[in-house]
Structure 1
Amino acid sequence: MNEMTRLERFRSEVPRPGPEDLRAEEERLRAAMLAPATGRPKARGTRRFRLAVAVTAGAAAAAVTAGLVVAGSGGGPHRAPAVHAMPVAHVELLQHAADAAGRTPELHPRPGQFLVYRSVTMDPVESSTGGRHARYLARANRTIWLPVDGDATHGVLETEALPPRPYPGEALPPEARGEAGRSGPEKAADFDRRAEWLRTDYAYLSRLPADPAKMYEHLYSHLGTGPAADGQAWQNVGGMLTEAYMPAAQRKALFRAAAAIPGVRTVGRAVDAAGRTGVAVSLDVPGAGQRDEYVFDPKTYLYLGRRSVVTDASLAGAPAGTVLTATAQLSVRLADRAPAVARR
């Protein structure tokens, strides 16, 4: 008897809740992720339904860890599986990520220092040569020094181009192969016009609330309600995870708050830009025909990276399942200074 058969037999012994029950349970779990800091009472339900959900959520978490909640083929190096997640599994995954935040050695940046991030990136590039339009996927190793104090214009960037990949269904254009080699050190940014509430430097992130409910409110700063606001709040989560660092207390609050964003789902298998396989939580971007995923190590639940995956070919202009962008965060460390930038 294989694992899926055992799982199905185990679940068959418990009455399956209907769609309304599942929606109500997701709301209950969303409230539960935030309730410890607010004192709000948990929603009540029947004993039998609570048992059913407990079994479903527990089975889902186990299936996510084993990579069993996704059906479908990867379909090549740039294809991602379709999402077929059991209800409430994303709550379990993000709770594990919150717990893991307190188990890892913590950095203690000082004013004047730099946080140094090493990563691998993949992004679509469009080019026009001789009246010919082409697309391909550019890849690079990236190291960036960002000041702890928050002025991004003092950041320094080095990149090393990696072999590009063809855009799905298209040939690799000749100009794509001419981008090999290193660049930098150079200024990471000429200006930084982000609003205060969108800052992701350590000086700002370290002052954010460690209370999940208040962190949830921060994610929705200056946003309304509805799917578009939820999508932007989800993007804000990614901004606080990618080339950004915050104390463990704030990371815990962030993951618990992220679990409460409506529409979040689990992806049972996701590969980051460095080729590491993990599990992911995702949200469909309204009107974009793609989902944004945050990938975690399936054993330690540490954050690995993020990626965007096409869900609607007509909206995204690429085959469904295509991974359009991806990052893999390889390391984060402290440095007392950044490399000197060559004068132009």
Structure 2
Amino acid sequence: MNDLDILHDAWEAPAPPSRAAHDAARAALLARAAGTAALAPAPARRRRRLGLRVAVVGAVAAAAVAGVTVVQTGGSDGHGRPRPVIPGIPPGPVANAAEALDRAALAAQGTAARPEQWIYTEVTDRYPGTAHKARVERPTDGLRTRVVRSWWRADGKEAAEEDAGRLTTRPLSDPVPADVTDGRTMLHWAYGQVPGGREDERDPVVQGEVFGRLNAMVREHEVPARRLSLVFKAIALIPGVKLVPGRVDALGHPAIAVGRVTEGWLREEVLLDARTYAYVGERSIAIKDHTSTGMDGTSTVKKGTIQLIAARTKVAVVDRPGQRP
């Protein structure tokens, strides 16, 4: 089963972009081309690990969301060498997972929101409708859809989420100690956050839990944008994390996957934009039949069964929680 087959079976046809979204994206793209783009608006005075939330902003993202076809090319310098698409990120393809995640770390540092502004994200999840109910899960089972709308203050101090039309705001604090300053210390801290992590960091099951824990920190905006790069660097240090080029995200855009196989049967992938290295989604899929036994009995997941496929469908910088672009 290839990427297009998975998307065809799992994803509903996207709604066409609104005229306002199309016009805004076109204006942003033209401004970027002219070198005058202003990425932030002026102030106005589980089955498993569900809920992808992404903190990537910019005109390129806006154009992709609005359905505008964008051919990004940095061109070349005076010596014929390719220019980077995003300033500060090296041009050209990556050779391995560490290099891809290093570029993702650089992209994470480029968030354009001011500290008092908010990052709005709209994320669409598709996951098994029979999770925890069926004794056997198959690729042909139907998937449920959930749309999550969230707002995250750029300085990491507050978050808000909309549920049944009601907005709830809550305070946030950085859970990572101040002495975590690089990828290795971030990874060591993460091992302490999962069961058994301190006992044996070589246990592949523990490593899978750490991979999931760090991914959740990106999705859930658990750390301020200024420290997000450390999370990507820590992911690159987990054994078994590999680069999978040639993927597409849930919207059909070219993507790079960085992932690992957990417990021998579940392939979990983080999806990065193939040009900008922005974090754009994730998916989990069974690569072999798996049977587990718990207190409620025995259950089986068949090869090819999707456990989660998620996509960032909208992202923007706004001035207050509850505001939509």
Taking structure 1 as the reference length, the TM-score comes to 0.53
1:79, CA displacement in angstroms?
8.0
1:272 correspondence with 2:201: no
2:238 to 246, 252, 261: 261
1:212 counterpart residue number: 183
Q: Which has the larger radius of gyration?
A: 1
**C-alpha displacement of 1:94:** 1.2
Higher RCO (Cα < 8 Å, 6 or more apart): 2
Q: Deviations over 1:104-156 (max 9, x none)?
A: 2333434xx76532112111112999xxx994211243212357535x7xx43
Residues in 2 aligned to 1:254 and 1:298: alpha-carbon distance in whole angstroms: 19
Other-structure match for 2:286: 310
Cα offset, 1:332, TM superposition: 4.8
Counting only pairs closer than 5 Å after superposition, residues 161-200 of structure 1 correspond to structure 2 as 183-185=164-166
SS at match of 2:165: strand
Distance in 1 (alpha carbons) for counterparts of 2:132 and 2:106: 48
The aligned residue for residue 52 of structure 2 is none
**For 1:97, what is the secondary structure of its paired residue?**
helix
CA distance in 2, matches of 1:126, 1:261: 31
1:106/1:248 contact within 8 Å kept: no
Give deviations 1:212-266, integer Å, cap 9, x for gaps: 2211212212423211221111011111111416445422222121111011112
Is this contact kept in 2: 1:292–1:307, CA < 8 A?
yes
Q: Matched residue of 2:106: which SS?
A: helix
Shift of 1:93: 1.3
Number of paired residues?
218
Q: Is 1:231 paired with 2:208? A: yes
Residues 46-93 of structure 1: CA deviation (Å, up to 9, x unaligned): xxxxxxxxxxxxxxxxxxxxxxxxxx744623489xxxxxxx711121
Which residues of 2 match residues 1-344 of structure 1 at below 5 A? 73-74=2-3, 76-78=5-7, 89-102=96-109, 104-110=110-116, 115-126=119-130, 135-145=141-151, 148-149=156-157, 155-158=160-163, 183-185=164-166, 201=172, 203-204=174-175, 209-222=180-193, 223-224=197-198, 225=201, 226-244=203-221, 246-286=223-263, 289-315=265-291, 317-329=300-312, 330-338=314-322
C-alpha distance in 1, partners of 2:108/2:244? 21
Does structure 1 retain, via aligned residues, the 8 Å contact 2:113–2:119? no
What is the Cα deviation at residue 100 of structure 1? 2.5
Q: In 1, distance between residues paired with 2:132 and 2:306?
A: 22
Report the Cα distance in structure 2 between the residues aligned to 1:127 and 1:246, rounded to whole angstroms: 30
Partner secondary structure for residue 111 of structure 2: coil
Post-superposition offset of 1:284 = 1.4
Q: 1:144 to 1:74 in 2, by over 3 A?
A: closer
Provide the rounded CA distance (Å) in 2 between the counterparts of 1:128 and 1:253: 34
Query: Is the CA contact 1:212–1:256 (under 8 Å) kept in the aligned structure 2?
Result: yes
Q: Counterpart in 2 of 1:168?
A: none
Q: Normalising by the residue count of structure 2, what TM-score does the alignment of the two structures yield? A: 0.55
Q: Structure 1 residue 186: deviation in Å?
A: 5.9
- Secondary structure of 2:290's counterpart equals helix
| 2-structure distance, mates of 1:334, 1:207 | 29
**Aligned AA (2:162):** L
Gaps of 5+ in 1: 1-71, 81-87, 159-182, 190-199, 340-344
Task: Give the match for residue 48 of structure 2.
Answer: none
Deviation (angstroms), 1:319: 4.4
Runs of at least 5 residues in structure 2 that lack an aligned partner in the other structure = 10-94, 292-298
Mapped to 1, the partners of 2:258 and 2:288 lie a distance apart of 18
Deviation at 1:304, TM superposition (A): 0.6
